[in-house]
A and B are shown apart, each in its own frame.
Chain A
Amino acid sequence: MGMDESGMITIYVMGKKHRVPADLTIMKAMEYAGHQFRRGAGCRGGFCGACSTIYRKKGSYKLQGALACQKMVEDEMYIAQIPFSPAEKKTYNVDELKADANTFLEYYPEIARCLCCNTCTKACPQDIKVMDYVQAALRGDIQEAAKLSFDCLSCGLCAVRCPAEIVPYNIGQLARRLYSKYVMGPTEHVLKRASEVEEGRFDDEISGLKSLDKAELQKLYEARDMKV
């Protein structure tokens, strides 16, 4: 087919053919073609993972994953959305967890089935080293698992592709909470300030500001020292 003079190309949405402008994202192309999203659209900016999509180019064996709001349409692209992955999230009390490998094995024992095939990493639209963080969790390296998984949007594409039926994004979520809570721990000056507030340390100062009229307050505002 190819692009015509007016810049239109052909895409197939769930197999149905549409001519759409070539300079659109998959999401905008589907809207152009007449879809109004109820599922499969979220932040529209690559921050939420609501628009997980798989596609295959004509003549190619490769099945690829993308976020519909981020990926541009290409000529002869077959598109299907997977806005939900039927993954099981285990429930736990975060205050009672231990920051070690056994926690992952206890809640998500299937991670021991990881084949190191790297399919998850290839499926990730954020280019996260998914397999590496699953492996890090498996050996109890919580910091590595937390940091490597940090940019995850829980779009679910890794989970639907994993041959070992692991749900990597749940592993990443658990790793990050463990890392923050137990490895990094609370921040001293935050705790200190929170208790100072609770003791009423700033009440008089703020009441003082509240009692000023606008002109007086404005004067103070303009005269405040800036450390930027």
Chain B
Amino acid sequence: MSGYPEYMQESLRLVEKTRPERIGKAFPFMKTEEKQKILKDWHPDFKEGTKRMLKIGPSKGQLMPNEVVDILESHPLIGPGDIDLSDIAYDVDVLIIGAGGAGMSAALLAQESGLDIDRILMVQKLRLGDANSKMSQGGIQAADGVDDSPTRHYLDIMGGGRFTNNPDLVEILVKDGPNVIKWHESLGVMYDKNPDGAMKVESGGGTSRKRMHSCKDYTGLEITRVLLDEFLNREIPYLEFTPVAELITDEMGQVAGAVLWDMDSDEYLVARAKSTVLATGGFGRLHIQGYATTNHYGSTADGVVLAYHVGASLRDLDSTQFHPTGAAFPEQIVGQLCTEALRGRGSQPVNKHGELFVHPLETRDVESSAYIRECYERDNGIVTPTGMRGVWLDTPLIDIIHGPGTAEREFSAMNRMFGKFNIDIRKEPMLVFPTLHYQNGGVEINTRCESNIPGLFAAGEVCGGIHGKNRLMGNSQLDLYVFGRRVGVFTAERAKKARVGKLTLNHIDRYERWLAEAGIKTDRRAPLLLPEYRGKKTLEHQLKLL
């Protein structure tokens, strides 16, 4: 029985009909000029009226999505007078904000680098491990194959990022890739392997070799739960449900900790730290241009806002990653991730006539643009009952190419997600459309993960520069561990010599001045901490009595 409505059946029959002739068919990769044109014409980044220039601060003049400018041109959540900075609840060498892949790696390496566990504090807005890191499905890149090299990986990344990446960060990423996989295995991460014991690897969009390592389609889940288990084994102190409301600076202009906010009691707590690490993730829950997102509930770009309040430079926030294959049907899972590994294993994007219209493994920016063009210029999409458009992702090809049982064995998350709605992806295609996936830009860092403000470090999705204007699949999962580990080492090193001065919140006054001088009048406040999904009626009648 089909999981799709009657009116889609004719198109599904065409997909089935053309399937045999599409198997093994090579659709040519686009040339540079074609890529530039399709991006300009169809990628959401280039859509007019969706961005504006930031009016305040060190990155003034940068073009960013309206949703990002909105939270940067907002009042801080607290005023300088709200907090008694002499009442210090935690006094540590390293304060790590965020407990996803980057934060966990930082904590483990800070401890391994010689810090006593009591000199480390991890704070997390939601639960330990609540992060986009855990939701990564398809894989992690590392150039450890015999026909591959870090040099080749470097070239793939630079080209994929349209040569806008920071080369020094890319060099570190590709060289440390094999070492990260080695580290994971030493901790007990279960990577997929071939019968001969070698890593089972696949292609991703824009990779010139098969270097995607996977743990079924639960790659991020498997890696982060092992790191979490190890973190708990080492008994490093942590606070859950305790986001950061504002960073703290000192009279020397260093970042010197943070004002924490206990989500259960609403009380604030002052944490003083020699080094503060932003590992807060990305901005999917800002729903740039109204797009649905693959992202975690907590992905509200808090780290970018906190960093900007203290004067940290930002970069590449004009570019947003839209993942080509977000679910487009049924309505209940719209925007959720359908891993790129499905295409790595042979699934093809197909229009309503059953025609393959783009190479399945173009880089994500180009691939997404091609799907949008197919739906909105060529009118070859399939319209859903809610009026959304999508293209087919022909997943039954996986079992045809690799043998029966492959899709069930390798894609249990995908089978589960669609199976709940009676869509058997082994027999029927998925309906997909691009979805908001990743914050390409962010806080600017150097190779030591330092921002331009002393004492403030960053790692993971909150940073910009590694992926330039477009990230390749499997490279964010890698960057979490490469730069998370580094930040642990460098903050431990800094603990030996850094001195914290008198704590202040003077940067809040300065920020308010910037807003006033730019003539920005708003009642917006940031960081957001949580997205707002409550019903309209509730919000209209809200009355805070307690």
Contacts and interface: CB of A to CB of B under 8 A. Distances in A.
Interface of A: 23-25, 28, 31-39, 41-48, 50, 70, 72, 89, 91-94, 126-127, 146, 150-151, 153-154, 173, 176-181, 184-194, 197-198, 202, 205-206, 209-210, 214, 217-218, 220-222, 224-228
Interface string B286-312: 000000001011000000000000000
Nearest to A90: B233
Given A187-B181, A210-B168, 6 more contacts: A31-B533, A43-B134, A91-B233, A187-B199, A214-B163, A228-B207
Contact of A31 (B150, B151, B207, B534): B534
A45 B235 CA distance: 29
B171 A206 contact: yes
B420 interface: yes
Contacts of A190: 142, 144, 178, 181-182, 185, 199
Contacts of B241: 38-39
Contacts, number: 219
Interface of B: 29, 31-32, 126-127, 129-130, 132, 134-135, 137, 142-147, 149-152, 154-156, 158-159, 163, 167-168, 171, 174-176, 178-179, 181-182, 185-191, 193, 197-199, 203, 207-210, 216, 218, 220-222, 225-226, 229-230, 232-235, 241, 263-264, 294, 296-297, 331-333, 336-337, 361, 412-413, 416-417, 420, 530, 532-535, 537-538
15 contacts: A23-B332, A39-B126, A44-B296, A45-B294, A45-B336, A47-B137, A92-B233, A94-B188, A150-B216, A187-B193, A202-B150, A209-B154, A222-B159, A224-B155, A225-B208
Q: Most B CB atoms within 10 A — which of A176, A178, A187? A: A187
Contact of B158 (A173, A177, A192, A221): A221
B226 A177 contact: yes
Nearest to B126: A42
A224 B149 CA distance: 13
Contact of B337 (A45, A89, A150): A45
Given A194-B182, A202-B151, A222-B32, A34 B534 contact: yes
B199 A89 contact: no
A224 B232 CA distance: 44
A10 B144 CA distance: 55
B188 A181 contact: yes
Contacts of A89: 229, 232
Contacts of A72: 332
Given A181-B186, A186-B185, A206 B174 contact: yes
Contact of A48 (B135, B197, B263): B135
A189 B193 CA distance: 12
A181 B129 CA distance: 22
Contacts of B150: 197, 202, 206
B197 A180 contact: no
Contacts of B532: 36
Contacts of B171: 206, 210
Given A177-B229, A188-B197, A35 B331 contact: no
A42 B190 contact: no
Nearest to A71: B420
Given A42-B130, A186-B182, A197-B179, A177 B187 contact: yes
Given A94-B233, A151-B412, A43 B297 contact: yes
B155 A180 contact: no
Contact of A209 (B147, B151, B176, B264): B151
Nearest to A70: B420
Contacts of B220: 47
Given A36-B533, A176-B188, A91 B197 contact: no
B279 to A, nearest CB: 17
Given A94-B188, A205-B151, A220-B155, A43 B179 contact: no
A189 B188 contact: no
A193 B135 contact: no
B216 to A, nearest CB: 7
A194 B337 contact: no
Nearest to B127: A50
B230 to A, nearest CB: 7
Contacts of A197: 150, 175-176, 178-179
Contacts of A44: 296-297
B144 A194 contact: yes
